[in-house]
Homo-oligomer: A and B are copies of this chain.
Amino acid sequence: MDVSALVEGLRSGDRRTVARMISLVEDASIETLGEVMRQIGGMTSHAYTIGVTGSPGVGKSTLTGALVSELRKRDRTVSVLAIDPTSHITGGALLGDRLRMQEHATDPGVFIRSMATRGHLGGLAWAAPHALRILDAAGVDTILVETVGVGQDEVEISAQADTTIVALAPGMGDSVQANKAGILEIADVYVVNKADREGAKQVVRDIQQMLELGAHGEWLPPVLMTTATDGTGVDEVLNAVDRHREYMDSSGEARRRRLARAAGEIREIVIGRMRAAIGTVKDSDLLAALAEQVVEHELDPYAAADKLLAEVDA
């Protein structure tokens, strides 16, 4: 693979090259990825990353589309990375049919890509930083990262974002359920979408009450209402994101997050190397033979891991 040619294409903002390089994160060998990252190393760290998360059905895709429109009004270029943590089952991202995004399909200032995160080298914590570095190197102002699902994935994506928007909606189970799913605690900005529906104001009050009761840092996350289908309230969401960005910079929190993110990235690359090395061993029949012995109680899993580790060269 001619990595230099790819990086040249990326530098010139060629969309097909960007798309191809994001596919590489899922498919390429760790050696190829390492070469890519080495070559784009100096090109990154200009884009601002906004995470958009929330339970299925709250209108995340629509909200993301409305945020893109608003960002374009402000003359910012945008990449959207839609992460589908489940697509290793279906064999492809389920988000191709993003109707709300179609209006942006012909805008050269907007790049949209969905991505699975269950590659052979690791999950979301592995894939997201790689993809974000590639999008960043392509020279965009803002990256929107949208995730499907609740739980571990959301928390991991919030670690990758400079500002995390948590979207909720009335009638999607009460706020206690949302809290149970843990996503309330990662929000820098709350958005109650479907504000035209009954119960929206109650959701706002519930969150505000939770914020009053709970611990939060210096930054008090605002709770905003939107009707993403017609764009109502979306400008205010972007204003809040900008205010959060200023807070992050002035408080030093931005740098702390960047350092934590870099440490996590380094750690996951080390783990990725180990996974790659195990993958090589897997191709021999050693792991299958060890699994057989564990199932037959001839070996405990730790003893089997010892034997595997002896063959692994990370």
**A199 proximity list for chain B (CB < 8 A):** none
Determine the distance from Cα of A150 to Cα of B180 in the docked complex, in whole angstroms.
12
Q: Does A312 contact B (CB under 8 A)?
A: yes
In the bound complex, do residue B288 and residue A263 qualify as a contact, i.e. CB atoms below 8 Å apart? Answer: yes
Chain multiplicity (copies): 2
Q: Does A105 contact B (CB under 8 A)?
A: no
Q: Does A16 contact B (CB under 8 A)?
A: no
Residue of B at shortest CB range from A39? B300
In the bound complex, do residue B85 and residue A152 qualify as a contact, i.e. CB atoms below 8 Å apart? Answer: yes
Q: Known contacts A267-B278, A294-B266: does B151 contact A300 (CB below 8 Å)? A: no
In the bound complex, do residue A152 and residue B181 qualify as a contact, i.e. CB atoms below 8 Å apart? Answer: no
Q: Does A287 contact B (CB under 8 A)?
A: yes
In the bound complex, do residue B56 and residue A302 qualify as a contact, i.e. CB atoms below 8 Å apart? Answer: no
Q: Does A304 contact B (CB under 8 A)?
A: yes
Shortest A299–chain B CB gap in Å is 8
Shortest A98–chain B CB gap in Å is 11
Q: Does A94 contact B (CB under 8 A)?
A: yes
Shortest A84–chain B CB gap in Å is 8
Stretch at the interface among A72-80, A170-178, A222-230: A170-178
Contact with B along A27-67 (1 / 0, CB 8 A): 00000011001100110010000000001110000000000
Identify 16 residue pairs between A and B in the complex whose beta-carbon atoms are under 8 Å apart, listed by A's number.
A41-B299, A45-B295, A56-B150, A85-B152, A85-B182, A86-B182, A89-B185, A94-B182, A150-B151, A151-B151, A151-B153, A262-B294, A266-B294, A267-B308, A270-B274, A271-B278
Closest 10 CB pairs of A and B: A86-B182, A149-B151, A57-B173, A41-B300, A269-B305, A262-B291, A263-B291, A262-B294, A34-B302, A85-B152
